[in-house]
Chains A and B, each alone.
Chain A
Amino acid sequence: MAVVRLDNLSKRYTGTADAAVDRVSFTVADGEFMVLLGPSGCGKSTTLRMIAGLEAISEGALWIDGRQVNTVPAKDRDIAMVFQSYALYPHMTVRDNLAFGLRRRDVAKAEIERRVALAASILGLEPLLERKPFALSGGQRQRVALGRAIVREPKVFLFDEPLSNLDAALRVATRNELVKLHRRLGVTMIYVTHDQVEAMTMGQRICVMNRGRVAQIGAPLEVYRNPADAFVARFLGSPPMNLFPATLRTDGGRALAAAGTHAIPLERWRTEALSPGREVLCGIRPEAFEIAGRTTAGTATVTGSLSAIEPLGAETLLLVDLGPGVGEVTARVRDDVDAPIGSTMALSFQPASVYLFDRTSELAIPAEGRA
Chain B
Amino acid sequence: MANAEPFADRATRMLRSAPLAAVLVLYTLYSALPFAWIATMSVRTTSEISANHYAWPTVWHWEKYRAAWFDSNFGTYFWNSTLVVVAAVAVVTVLGAAAAHCLARYRFRGNRLVYFILFSSIIFPPQIILISLFQVMAGYGLYNSRLGLTLVYIGLQLPLTVYLLEGFFARIPQDLFDAAKIDGYGDFEIFVRIVLPVGMPAIATTVILNFIQLWNEFLFAVVLVNDPGLSTLPIGIRRFMGDYFQDTGMIATGMMIAVLPVIVVYAFFSEKLIQGMTAGAVK
Q: Is the CB of B281 within 8 A of A90?
A: yes
In residues 109-166 of chain A, which contact B (Cβ within 8 Å)?
Answer: 132-134, 148, 152
A75 touches B281 (CB 8 A): no
| Chain B, range 147-184, C-beta contacts under 8 Å to A | 173, 175-176, 178-184
* B197 surroundings in chain A (CB, below 8 A): 91
Q: Which of B175, B185, B280, B281 has the most CB of A within 10 A?
A: B175
> B199 to nearest A CB, angstroms?
10
Question: What residues of chain B lie closer than 8 Å to A91, measured between beta carbons?
Answer: 197-198, 200, 279, 281
Bound: A79/B184 CA distance, A: 11
Q: Is the interface of B mostly helix, strand, loop or mixed?
A: helix
When C-beta atoms are compared, the residue in chain A nearest to B197 turns out to be A91
Q: How far is the CA of A87 from the CA of B184 in the complex (A)?
A: 15
A351 to chain B, nearest CB (A): 50
Most buried by A among B178, B198, B281, B283: B178
Query: What is the minimal beta-carbon distance from B228 to any residue of chain A, in angstroms?
Result: 46
What's the least CB distance linking A107 to chain B, in Å?
11
Cβ of B280: which chain A residues have Cβ within 8 Å of it?
Answer: 90, 133-134
> Does B219 belong to the interface (CB within 8 Å)?
no
Using CB atoms, name the residue of chain B closest to A145. Answer: B179
Which of A31-39, A98-106, A262-270, A339-347 is the interface stretch? Answer: A98-106
With a cutoff of 8 Å between Cβ atoms, the chain A residues found around residue B176 in the complex are: 87, 89
Q: Is A54 an interface residue (CB 8 A)?
A: yes
Q: Which of A79, A85, A132 contacts B182 (CB 8 A)?
A: A79
Given A90-B280, A91-B198, are A74 and B181 also a contact pair (CB < 8 Å)?
Answer: yes
Instruction: Specify which chain B residues have a CB less than 8 angstroms from the CB of A74 in the assembled complex.
Output: 178, 181-182
Does A83 reach chain B (CB closer than 8 Å)?
yes
Number of interface residues of B (CB under 8 A): 21
List the B residue with the shortest CB-CB distance to A132: B279
Counting chain A residues whose Cβ lies within 8 A of the other chain, the interface size class is 20 to 34
Q: Are A52 and B194 in contact (CB under 8 A)?
A: no
Partner of B183, one of A54, A75, A90: A75
Do A101 and B279 have beta carbons less than 8 Å apart?
no
* B58-103 contacts to A (CB < 8 Å): none
Residues of chain A from 2 to 49 with CB closer than 8 A to chain B in the complex? 49
A85, B173: Cβ atoms closer than 8 Å: yes
- Answer yes or no: B259 CB below 8 A from chain A CBs: no
- With a cutoff of 8 Å between Cβ atoms, the chain B residues found around residue A134 in the complex are 279-280, 283
Known: A87-B175, A89-B176. A101 touches B181 (CB 8 A): no
Q: Are B179 and A90 neighbours in the complex by a CB distance under 8 Å?
A: no
Complex Cα spacing A133 to B283, Å: 11
B39 at the interface (CB under 8 A from A): no
B198 touches A87 (CB 8 A): no
Most buried by A among B173, B176, B182: B182
Decide if B282 is an interface residue (CB 8 Å cutoff). Answer: yes
Contact A90 B181 (CB under 8 A): no
CA distance A90 to B196 in the complex (A): 12
Residues in B with CB closer than 8 Å to A89 are 176, 179-180, 194, 198
Q: Which residues of chain A come closer than 8 Å to B179, judged between CB atoms? A: 81, 83, 87, 89, 148
A-B contacts, 22 listed (Cβ < 8 Å): A49-B178, A52-B182, A54-B178, A80-B182, A83-B175, A84-B175, A87-B173, A87-B176, A87-B179, A90-B279, A91-B198, A91-B281, A100-B180, A101-B182, A101-B183, A101-B184, A104-B185, A105-B184, A132-B279, A134-B279, A134-B283, A148-B183
A53-B181, A134-B283 given; 16 more Cβ-contact pairs under 8 Å: A52-B182, A74-B178, A74-B182, A75-B185, A80-B182, A81-B179, A81-B182, A85-B173, A85-B175, A87-B173, A87-B178, A89-B176, A89-B198, A90-B281, A133-B280, A134-B279
